[in-house]
Amino acid sequence: MQNHSCNVVKEGTTSNEPQHQSPPLRLPTWFYQCKTFSIVELDTSRFPFRELVADWLEVSSDKLEKIHTISSIPESRIPLHPTIRQAWVASKTEPKISSTMRRAKKKGLFSSPQYKRYVDKYRLFLKEVIAPLCCDPSSSTQQNIVYQYPPTTRVVLPNGNKTISMHCDRDYPNHQAAEINFWLPLTNVFESNSLFVESEPGKGDFQPLKLRYGQFLKFDGHDCRHYTVHNETQTCRVSIDFRVVPSCLAQKERSQIGDFCVEETTEDGYKAFWSPSKNSGPKPCSQSVQHKHIHH
Ligand SMILES: [Fe+2]
């Protein structure tokens, strides 16, 4: 069992800084209210993430729960996403896919029009839906957020291994104390085919979340432990997740959230940050462009 004491320093307190943890930061009371565990309704007509993700996964959106039965995909259309490809390969004996082809396919995936449609809608969702959930409610002006880009997409097949062991995000490098986590399942999730998360740091009240598509979770993944288990159901799980920091609390010089690049909402769209590289100096994050407008 990992130590799960909270390293976030509430107003008027101090703490030593353990390895891999964010430096002490004074956080306002409203922020603690923002990151409480809650389930939020998603407007799926305005933000149809199930269809958008299915599109770039190259799976019919009504088949997301049954990706493991996609052997009908023709030989000429090898799936781009690694897990979908794994299901496709498992359904055949040949051909095996070379690492060269994998790299080419991955490059093709991120430059595809389907993927661009998805991330454009993600940016709009962050600005219009997520930012208001992460800001000081007493403020009369729209506040901006720094957010993970791109979001993490997870695909778990029936009989699939756990994707994460029990942890808090602060156990890993490059996380910030003022992060708020979001988990948005694109399939109904339940029992072993879901996320287990405690509702408060150290509380230990783990339950598999039972959510339907059209709901998403806001939670304190920085300090609350969470994990998944072996999927013993006959249903695939597809989800996206991401982390957000209110701009007024962000440590922007870090220009990273975990392993991901970051962007920030702006009055008329978003701006991307430059990510440091150990070997070659600053370089732009993949997929990001400086100062862009969001297309509705
Ligand atoms: Fe996590």
- Percent pLDDT > 70 in the chain is 74
Q: What is the mean pLDDT of residues 278-286?
A: 41
182 CA to centre of ligand 1 in angstroms: 10
Q: Which residue has the higher pLDDT, 14 or 156?
A: 156
Identify the pLDDT of residue 83: 75
Q: Residue 159: pLDDT band by 50, 70, 90 thresholds? A: confident
Please state the φ and ψ torsions of residue 289, each to the nearest 5 degrees.
-135, 145
Record the pTM. 0.79
72 CA to centre of ligand 1 in angstroms: 34
Is the CATH number of domain 29-51+112-293 1.10.10.10?
Answer: no
Identify the pLDDT of residue 76: 61
Task: For residue range 224-238, list pLDDT tens digits in order.
Answer: 999 999 999 999 999
**Mean pLDDT for the chain?**
80
Render the burial of 9-18: b for 16+ CB within 10 Å, e for the rest: beeeeeeeee
pLDDT at 251 over 90: no
219 CA to centre of ligand 1 in angstroms: 10
3-state helix, strand and coil shares in percent for the chain, rounded to the nearest 5: 25, 25, 50
Q: What is the mean pLDDT of residues 243-259?
A: 87
pLDDT at 286 over 50: no
Residue where the block lists tokens 């059209």: 214
Query: What ranges do the domains of the chain cover?
Result: 29-51+112-293
230 CA to centre of ligand 1 in angstroms: 17
Task: For residue range 191-202, list pLDDT tens digits in order.
Answer: 999 999 999 999
Spatial distance between the Cα atoms of 247 and 227, rounded to a whole number of angstroms: 28
195 CA to centre of ligand 1 in angstroms: 10
Spatial distance between the Cα atoms of 226 and 30, rounded to a whole number of angstroms: 23
Q: Residue 128: pLDDT band by 50, 70, 90 thresholds? A: very high
Please state the φ and ψ torsions of residue 243, each to the nearest 5 degrees.
-120, 150
264 CA to centre of ligand 1 in angstroms: 21
Q: Residue 146: pLDDT band by 50, 70, 90 thresholds? A: very high
As residues whose CB is below 5 A from the ion ligand 1, the structure lists: 169, 221
169 CA to centre of ligand 1 in angstroms: 5
- Residue 147 is encoded by which pair of tokens? 């957010």
